Amino acid sequence: MQRSLISAAILSLTALAAVPAAQATQAAQAAGKAKPAKAGKASQGATAAAGRLATTQLPRNVRPSHYSISLTPDAQASTFSARAVIAIDVLEPTATVTLHALDLVLAAASIAAGPGQPVQQASNIALNADKQTATLTFARPLPKGSYQLAIDYSGKIGNQAAGLFSLDYDTPAGKKRALYTQFEAADARRMVPSWDEPAFRATFALEATVPAGQMAVSNMPVASTSDVDGGRKLVRFATTPKMSTYLLFFGLGDFERATATEGGTELGVVTVKGRLPQAQFVLDSSKAVLREYNDYFAFPYPLPKLDNVAAPGRSQFFGAMENWGAIMSFEAAMLLDPAMSTQADKQSAYSIAAHETAHQWFGNLVTMRWWDDLWLNEGFATWMAGRTTALQHPEWQTALNRVAGRNGAIERDALATTHPVVQRVATVEEAHAAFDEITYAKGGAIINMLENYVGEAAWRDGVRSYVKAHAYGNAVSDQLWQHIERAAGKPVTAIAHDFTLQPGVPLIRVSDYSCRAGKTSVTLTQGEYSKDQPNKKPLSWRVPVLAKTVGAEQASRILVSGGKASVSLPGCGPVLVNAGQAGYYRTVYTPKAYAALAASFGKLDTVDQLGLMTESWALGMAGRQSPSDALSLARATPVDAAPQVWGRIARMFDEIRIYARDNEATRARLSSFAVARLAPVLARVGWDARSDETAPTAILREQLIYTLGTLGDDDVMVEARRRYDAALAGDKAALPPALRRVVLGVVARNADARVWEQLHAAAKAEQSAIVKSELYSLLGQTLDPALAQRALELAVSGEPDATIGAGIISSVAQEHAERAFDFALANLPKVNGLVESSSRAAYFPGLAGGSASAAMVDKLKAYADANLPASARSQTNTAVSRMQYRATVIRDRMPEIDAWLDRQAL
């Protein structure tokens, strides 16, 4: 699954069984070495004592092996009826069968030992909404053996992405409706009474009675189609391989499909009619990605087809889902709309396709045993997508993006409310909360570090061995480490345990260095990087480090173990630690060593410039070095530096702007300095694309216009408004697709009532779901409090499609967090109707998270106390930690930044 927050383009802005032996070993090792200083509950997950029980909601006395599902949806009535015949094995005598069911009406249930055998009707069907289960009781206990369990039932079709849901969209002929499913993490039970846990793999044979003129799509190809009464048809799909319930998919609508072939697999893209050309890039890209993955895994993709299905609308939780054989993505994550798509959108679409396709092996072919190991799916897919994008599109230079991805994970991981990569998941709410920066970005960064440590070939050989050994089954993290270690001949498991079974971030301290006889000596000491626990006793990690002297051709490999390492590096000069930026740790230098490295900034590779800039800023904000060090680097950066470096500088200026939101004097000083630095870069890049420019330059242009616009640069605001007015007057060249989003963003941010209404009218009239969603989100980006209030009221008015309203409120929260939060709380029933159930525990913390006020902290806690179970509060706790850290930065760091900015004006 691709989370919405990490899949957006750069400027979108918008039961009980004993724990398996491998997991018990992990827990025991973690308990023996990881002893966090009084962290919150979330940070202690996988470090609990060994011997605890694996979480499951269901008894283990019955196991399914096959589902035959007959589905009849009624899209207009938002209901469906169905029958499921499930082949089960009763493993010990029982009078009851318990399985998952949520928001279903079970009309009847019966069981038989096979065709022609006596049928026993369930004497009682008991639904438990809290446990999301149905218990079927039979008058005569069932002996051990194999049975056919038949259930007739009905359910609801929702309008948010959970279970079977509908999406409405505009066409020239009026509104139309399409159906899709979203089952991860635990929503298959909304459409099929089932054993809805990853370890209960089974085969699925799905058939659906649907309108004759519509297309039905599922995991497997259509096996047969026959006409039935009432202008309908019965579509039967081929039987799937054994898989987890959350990977089942069904889609229905006025669709069209294009295909290609790669390695014997039929690749397809499916869209609502009229949008198929916008999917061509993903179809073409999928061929190259599948070819690469077939080779990399040495296990050819095993299904006969692989579709990418584009759905209008959006989710607050995810952007794409890896259903086996039928990846579903929201249109904004997959399609390239010629009216608004940018280079960043193109790269994002490719990366998402690569991410979801990687899941066809890591997640689908081999599935984590339980949600504790979700990172096996998401961390690996994150890493694999980054690797593949960089490999197949070197001109995009996306390998540099790993610095930002790792930094995002570290900043989350350095809070007391963090958790281990392999984490304790005990409830459905905790499973949904597990889709976060730690699972995705930290997981991917750790894989990158370990691959760098053992070597590409050894890592690939270990992955191939792991996939082959566990194909069509379930696995835990230690089973991956065993295969990697066997292939590499290095102690991977011990290092992996350090980084996955305990939370937090190592901090490598670099001593002053000395040089004799062409060798530089330096000492590395391991501590811990924490943003909100200054007196925390450091945990211990074995840290793979690459270090070099500036100018040296090769870096030296060091394993910092036991907390300290003395290193001798070839050459004389400033020491650079984490050369190449593959390590998951922060690096802090002595003032003397940092000054020497900063003076050599221009001699560093671009990836190391990004690393040093990022580290300097983060460490400055955390009080580990001067917060003005990164600003000094920005001041010295030449105009012709790499676009990615200037992009990082622009993001830093934007962060300072947010910190200084309530300090007019600091904002003025920042704007003066930042505009003086960025405006010449924009002048060099230009507003209009050049035929020979690089992809990073195109992305930098958007970043610069956005940042200068938010900083109040008069030249940018005037030019943006000029282009907007010219486009309204019919000059299509004034607002090319590459600039449309960012220019409209600058205009919307500074809009008066007349311009706001122009944008509102454009949103209502727009038929492209992607552009419509963008335009509605723009209405919430206004600085004007009165217009922000109008945007909030519009969000719950019923005018925007059901999946858009929540995004408008989120847009308002970017500049008016308190207003947006208070409004959403006052309209809680309406807002809950705009957000899928899996997202609600994160949605309100997301609205509040831009604030730094103690009052907002109290409001968020009060909301959680009143509305969320204890198991669903991890996002609230994280948001509170971030707000409190932001308040600390404003109080303790911003005065020094303000003073530094003041000196620049002298």
Q: Using one digit for the tens of pLDDT, what is the confidence trace for 387-429?
A: 999 999 999 999 999 999 999 999 999 999 999 999 999 888 8
Active-site pick, 292, 322, 356, 719: 356
Q: How confident is the model at residue 6 (pLDDT cuts 50, 70, 90)?
A: very low
CATH number of 15-56+367-499, picked from 1.10.390.10, 3.40.190.10, 3.20.20.70, 3.10.20.30: 1.10.390.10
pLDDT value of residue 801: 87
Domains 15-56+367-499 and 62-94+155-346 share a fold: no
CA–CA gap between residue 491 and residue 454 (Å, rounded): 9
CA–CA gap between residue 61 and residue 830 (Å, rounded): 42
> Does residue 75 register a pLDDT over 50?
yes
Q: How confident is the model at residue 56 (pLDDT cuts 50, 70, 90)?
A: low
Instruction: Tell me how far apart the 2 most distant CA atoms of the chain are, in Å.
Output: 94
Dihedral, CA atoms, 478, 481, 485, 486, nearest 10 degrees?
A: 70
Q: Which CATH architecture has domain 505-617?
A: Sandwich (2.60)
Boundaries of every domain in the chain = 15-56+367-499, 62-94+155-346, 505-617, 637-750
pLDDT value of residue 4: 56
> Does residue 296 register a pLDDT over 70?
yes
Express each pLDDT in 577-611 by its tens digit: 999 999 999 999 999 999 999 999 999 999 999 99
Nearest to 3 by CA among 425, 326, 433, 436: 436
State the average pLDDT over residues 511-534.
94
Three-state SS string across 31-89, please? HHHCCCCCCCHHHHHHHCCCCCEECCCCCCCEEEEEEEEEEEEECCCCEEEEEEEEEEE
> Does residue 522 register a pLDDT over 70?
yes
Query: For residue 128, how far is the Cα from the chain centroid?
Result: 32
pLDDT value of residue 466: 98
Helix/strand/coil for 569: strand
CA–CA gap between residue 34 and residue 603 (Å, rounded): 39
> Does residue 15 register a pLDDT over 60?
no
> Does residue 654 register a pLDDT over 70?
yes
> Does residue 36 register a pLDDT over 80?
no
State the average pLDDT over residues 838-866.
92
CA–CA gap between residue 548 and residue 520 (Å, rounded): 9
The domain made up of 62-94+155-346 has a fold known as Immunoglobulin-like (2.60.40)
CA–CA gap between residue 352 and residue 321 (Å, rounded): 10
Nearest to 377 by CA among 357, 362, 392: 362
pLDDT value of residue 906: 61
pLDDT value of residue 850: 86
- Our answer to whether residue 356 is catalytic in this structure is yes
